[in-house]
A and B are shown apart, each in its own frame.
Chain A
């Protein structure tokens, strides 16, 4: 393959893929802000760890549920 081949392909591609308008037509900040607001907050890993710990304790020691409920 030589430079002539390269040029041929380049020209063919340019003719086949029409030029595009690269100008942005509107302000995207409102859409970005909406996206930032809409994303649900992620539960941090330590909350998951706490939930797992509590579930395990209650599974192995179910009588602790009453103690826990009493202290609520």
Chain B
């Protein structure tokens, strides 16, 4: 019997194999959204736990990765909704700082501030599409919506950001 079929039946060995195979991808997806390695690890563990709990709903002839990604995205969205005021997108830079000599610290902070104020759905769509440059169809799949809806969310996010930045006197 193949791995996905055994997982759908609730076999823990099959689930362990899937965890080892997909945990890196799930973590990478979540950390791109929440931008905090500690939170991303916690959400990855929660995602994997929910995946196991939902094993009966998984169709073995389906694709595991997009299904897992959708569960992960929903958890990341819930996290944003719960933690909005304190949520930080200011992960420590990896390696050398970005070439930001043209962009002042204050401007960066104002942009981050404006970005954090976006509604969770718009923020996630904008992060994945604009910052992480993920394909629209993958984002749509992970959000459980259409490509058109994702494009609309990104459009709305950009419009709100521009308004807020104008209000804050920032020229991007």
Query: Of all chain B residues, which has the CB nearest A35?
Result: B49
Q: Is B89 an interface residue (CB 8 A)?
A: yes
Q: Which one of A6, A9, A16, A27 lies within 8 Å of B103 (CB-CB)?
A: A16
Number of B residues near A (Cβ < 8 Å) is 45
In this complex, what residue of B is CB-closest to A24?
A: B27
**Contact of A15 with B by CB under 8 A:** yes
Binds A, one of B28-36, B64-72, B76-84, B142-150: B28-36
State how many residues of chain A have any CB contact under 8 Å with chain B.
Answer: 30
1/0 contact string of B89-103 vs chain A (CB within 8 Å): 111111001111001
The secondary structure that dominates the B interface is helix
Q: Which of B48-77 contact A (CB under 8 A)?
A: 48-49, 52
With both beta carbons as reference points, the residue of chain A lying nearest to B42 in the complex is identified as A31
Is B162 within 8 A of A1, CB to CB?
Answer: yes
Docked Cα-Cα span, A13 to B161, in Å, equals: 10
Q: How far is the CA of A49 from the CA of B131 in the complex (A)?
A: 52
Q: List residues 101-127 of chain B with CB under 8 A from any CB of chain A.
A: 103, 107-108, 111-112, 115, 126-127
Chain B residue at minimal CB-CB distance from A1: B159
Q: Are B35 and A15 in contact (CB under 8 A)?
A: no
Name B's A-contacting residues (CB within 8 A): 16, 19-20, 23-24, 27-28, 31-32, 35, 37, 41, 44-46, 48-49, 52, 89-94, 97-100, 103, 107-108, 111-112, 115, 126-127, 130-131, 155, 158-159, 161-162, 165, 172
Pick 24 A–B contacts, CB within 8 A, sort by A: A5-B162, A9-B130, A13-B115, A13-B126, A13-B131, A13-B161, A15-B98, A15-B99, A17-B127, A18-B92, A18-B97, A20-B91, A21-B31, A22-B28, A22-B31, A24-B24, A24-B27, A27-B23, A28-B19, A29-B16, A31-B45, A32-B19, A32-B49, A36-B49
